[in-house]
Amino acid sequence: MEKKRCNFSFGTNRQFSEKALRYHDTRWCKPEHRDRELYAMLVLEGMQAGVSWNLILEKEENFRRAFDGFDPQIVAAYGEQKVEELMQDAGIIRNRKKIQAAIANARAFLKVREECGSFDSFIWSFTDGKTIDHRLTDGKDMPAKDELSERVSAELKKRGFKFVGATIVYSYLQGIGVINDHCVDCDFR
């Protein structure tokens, strides 16, 4: 028997790539607590602005390679030469502002980690460590942003993070499992 998935699409015309299906089934809205992955998702969500999530998933391994496995300690030390190198990498999104944001975010990420012990404890503190489950019955009811994403966005911006508007942050919170927007009848909740 085929498993039931959420009634929305990660792509156009309800065409799911294998990577999008795997992401939906195994990672999306699943609680993530590893700091490196929390940073990775922040970079990927920022890179997604203005392009499809399918494209980001197709290029994810290239991003991981190009950004040294998303090690924030290494990325925080990138200089202009590394930015120029990344601008030549056809395997990633070659947008200077997004690349520079990934570097600025690594630096801000490390400051938060130093202050709070881990980025995990910081980001999950907004919900007291609990997942917010919207129990959607229809994917059309999923908001693009909400009060929580507005609050988290404002705090991240205050701390020097870039490409962290409320819509990107909402998607980020879904991606790391702080928000669960799987439809109630989805077998992958």
Dist CA 85 CA 99 (whole Å): 11
3-state DSSP assignment of residue 180: strand
Say which of 28, 53, 124, 172 is annotated catalytic.
53
As given in the structure block, the two tokens for residue 143 are: 């908001």
Characterize 127-147 residue by residue with b for buried, 16 or more Cβ atoms within 10 angstroms of its Cβ, and e for exposed: eeeeebebebeeeeebeebbe
Say which of 23, 39, 78, 172 is annotated catalytic.
23
Q: Find the Cα–Cα–Cα–Cα dihedral 62, 49, 133, 60, rounded to 10°.
A: 0
As given in the structure block, the two tokens for residue 56 are: 């980001």
Catalytic-residue membership of 124: no
Say which of 28, 32, 39, 45 is annotated catalytic.
45
As given in the structure block, the two tokens for residue 173 are: 């919170």
Catalytic-residue membership of 23: yes
Catalytic-residue membership of 172: no
Dist CA 38 CA 16 (whole Å): 24
Our CA angle for 115, 106, 172, nearest 5°, is 90
Quote the strand ranges of 39-178, DSSP E. Answer: 132-133
Question: Which residues are annotated as catalytic?
Answer: 23, 45, 53
